Amino acid sequence: MQICRSVKAVALGCSVLAVAGCAAMQPPPPPPPVAPPAAFIPLGLSAAYVSGDVISGRRARAAKMRAAKIQPLSPAAAPAYMVELESELRRQTAGIGLEVHRVADGVLVRIPAAFTFEPGSAEVKPQFDATLLEVARTVRTRSRTYVDVLAHTDTTGTPQANQALSDRRASAVAAFLARHGVARARIASKGYGEVAPLYPLEASEAERAANRRVEIRLVPFRSTDVAPTGARRRRT
């Protein structure tokens, strides 16, 4: 009888360990969707940096794209290409708290910083990998676009510290995209610190949280961005 009880105890212990092991192997659940205050959306999309030129300028970026054998879009083909890209991103990010906006010359994916980073950190959270991987997959396949990674902070802390933190966060997301198949020639990153807030006054924690964000801006690479061959020769 004692032997039977011992065998049962061992079997029960193994079962508990197996269940615990399975539970440990499960990835942590994604963060719940965050409903941003609706009031910031018009302000955020009218900000000058959203509609400005790509980071480092089109001529310099276009030269890198051409060197990487990426074919530009004709001006006539670019609008339909971006509509399809926007639709794909909306399908992939539906219901998970990311925002996809059509902006003047491209598409902007806005990601709350709480999804990607711990406070004060520039290391992408492991539980965010699956979501960012979905974005990376579409960005990778829609290769005829510039990829700008932009990071922002709230006004907590000094302007210098916030600028440095946003630079590191933008670089971290850019590196993540590159590791997952997005051509490095397409990517540039820039931290804005606290200088491009969605809510300038930050009257509440919700507004501060909205200001803490990472954005991926996708802009079509057009044939008109490339300097004519004759112009390049005259400059040499």
Segment 214-223, tens digit of pLDDT: 999 999 999 9
Q: pTM score, two decimals?
A: 0.78
Strand order in the sheet with 213-220: 99-103, 106-112, 213-220, 145-152, 187-191
Please check the confidence at residue 20 and state whether its pLDDT lies above 50.
no
Q: Which residue has the higher pLDDT, 86 or 26?
A: 86
In sequence order, what DSSP letters do the residues of 137-158 get, joined into one string? HHHHHS-SEEEEEEEE--SSS-
Segment 190-216, tens digit of pLDDT: 999 999 988 888 888 888 888 889 999
Q: Does residue 55 contact residue 188 with C-beta atoms inside 8 Å?
A: yes
pLDDT at 112: 83
Segment 43-60, tens digit of pLDDT: 566 678 888 899 999 999
Q: Report domain extents, the chain.
A: 40-235
Segment 78-124, tens digit of pLDDT: 999 999 999 999 998 888 878 899 998 899 999 888 788 888 889 88
Does domain 40-235 fall under CATH 3.30.43.10? My reply is no
Nearest to residue 199, comparing CAs of 37, 50, 35, 34? 37
